[in-house]
Amino acid sequence: MARSKLLTGVLVLALVVGSTTPAAAQQDHAATKAALDRYQAVAGPGAAVHAGDATGAWTLSSGTAKVGQQRPITANDHFRIGSQTKTFTASVVLQLVDEGRVVLDAPIERYLPGVIAGNYDGDVITVRQLLQHTSGMVRDVRDPVANPDGTYDLAELVRSAMDEPAQSAPGAAMNYSNVGYLVLGLLIERLTGRTARDLITDRVITPLGLTETSFPAPRTRALAEPYLPGYVGERLGPFFFWVDATTAVELSFWSTAGAMASTPSDLVKFYRAILDGRVFSPAALAEMRRTIAPNHFYGLGLAKVDLSCGGEAWGHNGILNTGHNSFTLTTEDGRFASVVTNAHMPLTSPSSTPVLDSALCEGSA
């Protein structure tokens, strides 16, 4: 996800540094290391992949976690996971479906009367469409009114988007919408009387033992230690021009669409738990994995990637203007891979899919 904001900080000009990965690990996973190096050469100052299967895990790092240092990115580094937050939000909604409190194909007006207005019709847009990005709602919030302390309320974020033009008619096409997931956050809050932050923590993070994963409270911008600094900017060949944006964003602006923090190690546990059926019912998982034409790659807060070695993997990517870009995938047979780079480049968006594909296919050999 991307939204232009004025970032304060020091502009850094530096030469891309070499890999800090131990030689033995590079040799054990040479193909994936080569794919990671190629990715890092067009991504941020550093990039890493944490991968494995039921028998064990391994981590490769390329470049550096921090500009001006020679430090590898580890599986325990905290960073902002951006739109991977959406899978957590979708998980709570599907739990409410399991409890009979939400019907996927019911209009959102049933749960949020009078909220979806202006250019949108809450009697037509369904919960499923919000989860699957087929509601037609605008992609991003543009002009919400902040609270006096600089934070944002979910209700205000949603209200401010109602006068924005629709991307399409409801159900007509898939058009990615952060606003749709803010509406789902508001749905969670109105149905339960509790904050979405508390519900995601109590229903998903804590039960799964994701001790390094968190949904930040308003005005909380710092990451837990150890953390991966994030940079925003662009690169020109071996040089990159970055501003440190790690704490430059008020995360309540992104809320249930992209505010959370985690680590590569915790993220693979989360997606593994989903495919293992430990987050909601088998029926809800089947709905989550029901993709839509024509590309059949996105379900309900979960994406499908076809692998070069056959089969498929499930997960989500996440980009945030804190300077973090990530993607986590898992397979039904227990393989997993999570990639992260410490930069958000608004003008270019290099793909980490070849790294994930190599790591997952290596594990299937």
Q: Which domains, and CATH codes, for the chain?
A: 11-78+213-364 (3.40.710.10), 86-202 (3.40.710.10)
Local confidence band at 106 (pLDDT 50, 70, 90 cut-offs)? very high
Element (H, E) at 306: strand 303-306
Q: Compute the distance between CA of residue 143 and CA of residue 7 in angstroms, rounded to an integer.
A: 17
pLDDT given at position 198: 98
pLDDT given at position 85: 98
9-18, 25-34, 268-277, 343-352: range with lowest mean pLDDT: 9-18
Q: Compute the distance between CA of residue 60 and CA of residue 73 in angstroms, rounded to an integer.
A: 8
- Average pLDDT for residues 49-69, to the nearest whole number? 96
More confident residue, 28 or 210: 210
More confident residue, 37 or 365: 37
Chain segment 310-353, per-residue pLDDT in tens: 999 999 999 999 999 999 999 999 999 999 999 999 888 789 99
pLDDT given at position 22: 53
pLDDT given at position 9: 33
Q: Residue 5: pLDDT above 60?
A: no
In the chain, the DSSP E strands lie at 11-15, 46-53, 56-63, 79-80, 231-236, 239-244, 261-262, 303-306, 312-320, 324-330, 336-341, 343-344
22-36, 103-117, 257-271: range with lowest mean pLDDT: 22-36
19-23, 133-137, 154-158: range with lowest mean pLDDT: 19-23
- Average pLDDT for residues 26-39, to the nearest whole number? 92
pTM, rounded to two decimals: 0.94
User: What's the token pair of residue 233?
Assistant: 């900017």
pLDDT given at position 365: 62
In the block, tokens 């934070």 appear at 151
- Average pLDDT for residues 65-79, to the nearest whole number? 96
pLDDT given at position 40: 95
Neighbours of 54 (CB within 10 A): 11
Q: Which amino acid is at 68?
A: G
pLDDT given at position 118: 97
More confident residue, 225 or 348: 225
Q: Compute the distance between CA of residue 58 and CA of residue 233 in angstroms, rounded to an integer.
A: 30
Q: Compute the distance between CA of residue 64 and CA of residue 83 in angstroms, rounded to an integer.
A: 24
User: What's the token pair of residue 28?
Assistant: 């054990």
Q: Which amino acid is at 173?
A: A
pLDDT given at position 2: 36
pLDDT given at position 8: 30
User: What's the token pair of residue 118?
Assistant: 């202006």
- Average pLDDT for residues 288-315, to the nearest whole number? 96
Q: Residue 1: pLDDT above 50?
A: no
For residue 227, which of 341, 76, 115 has the smallest C-alpha distance? 76
Q: What is the mean pLDDT of the chain?
A: 93
Q: Residue 19: pLDDT above 60?
A: no
Q: Compute the distance between CA of residue 329 and CA of residue 304 in angstroms, rounded to an integer.
A: 9
pLDDT given at position 363: 72
pLDDT given at position 25: 57
Local confidence band at 26 (pLDDT 50, 70, 90 cut-offs)? low
pLDDT given at position 20: 43
